[in-house]
Amino acid sequence: MGQTLLDKVWDAHTVRELPNGQTQLFIGLHLVHEVTSPQAFQMLAERGLSVRYPDLTFATVDHIIPTDESTRPYVDGMAEQMFVAIEQNVEQTGIPFFDRSTGRQGIVHVIGPELGLTQPGMTIACGDSHTSTHGAFGAIAFGIGTSQVRDVLATQTISVAKPQCRRITVNGKLADGVFAKDVILAIIGRLGVQGGVGFAYEYAGDVFDAMSMDERMTVCNMSIEGGARVGYVNPDATAFDYLQGREYSPKGEEFDSARQWWTDVASDGDAAYDDEVKIEGESIAPMVTWGVNPGQVVGVDDLIPSPEDVEGLDRRSIQDALDHMKLAPGAPIAGTPIDVAFVGSCTNSRISDLREAARVAEGGRVPAHVKALVVPGSQQVKTEAEAEGLDDIFRAAGFEWRDAGCSMCLAMNPDKLVNDQVCASSSNRNFKGRQGSPLGRTLLMSPAMVAAAAVAGEVTDVRAMAAG
């Protein structure tokens, strides 16, 4: 019987089985940002411990960083305090730090892959649940809490139970206007927001084979929204081509050697899985969430569900979601008016996302009552987009063009919804209050669908715009 990639990577990184029954797992790459790390460095200092392998941790700033202001000290005193903390911590420990002055700052899950730090067969950890993103390369990547950030800094290991493995196969072909975001939303809609607890998701089949690395990252990113802490795609030529020539990728003969190791780490053809799910690519429509978690999602041509459709606490969940969203059961989701449009986040802020959004926005005009903003995932993405003239397209269509950061995905900086505004968002979470206003309402969708909604002023089927 063969092994899955999960099995192989797990074995290669196992330090030992701990007395508590979990695995002590070595972490090959540790990524750190300003928000979930200061307490970890503090805990380390309190115990008199040092950073064991400073060359295996890389830091950047993304969560709290303003996207419309670059002069220090920041107007926001708490942001400034957080910046000073991470600057001191990396200075004292010797951890490489990609701040704005390096031209390589950005959302941690955008810059890891972009710099070639993220590679197949690695274990990766970061104090952020969307660390699953890096699984796009065939890495096993975990979101961890702050105490575990401390553990990685001190020992380069974490205590963790090995997950089971569920293979999710999507065969066939996606229709025009259907994107990676729609695929993962459809998967979460089918398996639920808790369906993946205890599992790693292996994404397999024609649809993932055909995806670019940017698209695979979008899918793996939202594994955690389906409850799966880890999600991955087996590494292939698409991944190897992406890695070729990146700053931290192996070079020359070393690259050839690495390519062999990366190829071998992929799941064997006769590997056993704990569970299998199959979905037809043709069945997936552009998806839009109607509720307060990413599993509350329908196709853009579907109707908003009714509490009457289900029983018990699920009925209460739907009613509660509809009350918050102020949406009517049984109504079409298409045509829902929006106030804000946000293209960005670790899910959908890469160059291909911006290209798709720009293609839809081009020639359109965002209505005056809609606030639309585009926040590139990294300084490099921003530079690349500007070289292609995407910023001009967005500005001409009435979008704001910002600096790199997490921005309105979680609204830790000044980019926030106000009152009960409705936001068409390319981010990953439609939780109550997520975008900075307790009453705010988030509709998750692909970047192309966000651009379509921005221009139309309401939720609209991007397939119709493309055809029209």
213-232: contacts with another protein (CB under 8 A): 224-225, 227, 229
Residue of 5, 10, 13, 109 interacting with another protein (CB under 8 A) = 13
Site residues for another protein, window 23-52 (CB under 8 A)? 24, 26, 28, 35-36, 38-39, 42, 47, 49, 52
Site residues for another protein, window 136-155 (CB under 8 A)? 143-148, 150-151, 154-155
Structure tokens at 59: 């830091």
Site residues for another protein, window 341-360 (CB under 8 A)? none
CB of 385 to another protein, least distance (A): 27
- Residue-by-residue DSSP string for 328-350: -TTSBSTT-B-SEEEE-TTTS-S
With binding defined as CB under 8 A, does residue 438 bind another protein?
Answer: yes
What are the angstrom distances between the C-alpha of 400 and each of 119, 391, 430?
34, 9, 22
Cβ–Cβ under 8 Å, residues 106 and 94: no
Site residues for another protein, window 79-138 (CB under 8 A)? 79, 81-82, 85, 119, 121-122, 127-129
Whichever of 269 and 312 has its CB closer to another protein, that residue is 312
Structure tokens at 315: 């009925």
Cβ–Cβ under 8 Å, residues 324 and 292: yes
CA angle 413, 418, 422 (to 5 degrees): 110
CB of 386 to another protein, least distance (A): 29
Location of structure tokens 């190829």: 263
Cβ–Cβ under 8 Å, residues 120 and 265: yes
With binding defined as CB under 8 A, does residue 171 bind another protein?
Answer: no
Q: Cα-flanking dihedrals φ and ψ of residue 98, to 5°?
A: -100, 90
d(CA 6, CA 434): 32
d(CA 148, CA 69): 32
CB of 258 to another protein, least distance (A): 5
Whichever of 220 and 393 has its CB closer to another protein, that residue is 220
With binding defined as CB under 8 A, does residue 14 bind another protein?
Answer: yes
Whichever of 75 and 78 has its CB closer to another protein, that residue is 78
Cβ–Cβ under 8 Å, residues 404 and 67: yes
d(CA 9, CA 262): 11
Whichever of 234 and 293 has its CB closer to another protein, that residue is 293
Site residues for another protein, window 372-411 (CB under 8 A)? 410-411
Whichever of 106 and 195 has its CB closer to another protein, that residue is 195
The window from 191-199, 214-222, 279-287, 325-333 that contacts another protein (CB under 8 A) reads 191-199
CA angle 329, 429, 160 (to 5 degrees): 130
With binding defined as CB under 8 A, does residue 311 bind another protein?
Answer: no
Single-letter amino acid, residue 416: K
Give which of 57, 187, 76 is closest to 125, Cα–Cα.
57
Whichever of 138 and 364 has its CB closer to another protein, that residue is 138
What are the angstrom distances between the C-alpha of 227 and each of 23, 301, 410?
20, 26, 19
Residue of 75, 197, 272, 328 interacting with another protein (CB under 8 A) = 197
Structure tokens at 340: 């804000």
d(CA 220, CA 5): 15
Whichever of 139 and 327 has its CB closer to another protein, that residue is 139
What are the angstrom distances between the C-alpha of 285 and each of 50, 181, 195, 200, 209?
51, 11, 21, 25, 19
Whichever of 211 and 408 has its CB closer to another protein, that residue is 408
Cβ–Cβ under 8 Å, residues 240 and 259: yes
CB of 250 to another protein, least distance (A): 5
Site residues for another protein, window 315-344 (CB under 8 A)? 316-317, 320
Give which of 181, 388, 374 is closest to 285, Cα–Cα.
181
Residue of 5, 258, 375, 404 interacting with another protein (CB under 8 A) = 258
Whichever of 255 and 332 has its CB closer to another protein, that residue is 255
Residue of 3, 261, 275, 414 interacting with another protein (CB under 8 A) = 261
CB of 53 to another protein, least distance (A): 7
CB of 206 to another protein, least distance (A): 29
CB of 457 to another protein, least distance (A): 27
CB of 451 to another protein, least distance (A): 26
Residue of 282, 308, 314, 386 interacting with another protein (CB under 8 A) = 314
The window from 97-105, 164-172, 312-320, 373-381 that contacts another protein (CB under 8 A) reads 312-320
With binding defined as CB under 8 A, does residue 434 bind another protein?
Answer: yes
The window from 74-82, 271-279, 325-333, 344-352 that contacts another protein (CB under 8 A) reads 74-82
> Where do the H-state alpha helices sit in 244-389?
252-265, 312-325, 351-361, 379-387
What are the angstrom distances between the C-alpha of 362 and each of 121, 175, 395?
40, 21, 10
Site residues for another protein, window 411-430 (CB under 8 A)? 411-412, 429
> Where do the H-state alpha helices sit in 158-289?
180-191, 206-210, 213-221, 237-243, 252-265
CB of 97 to another protein, least distance (A): 17
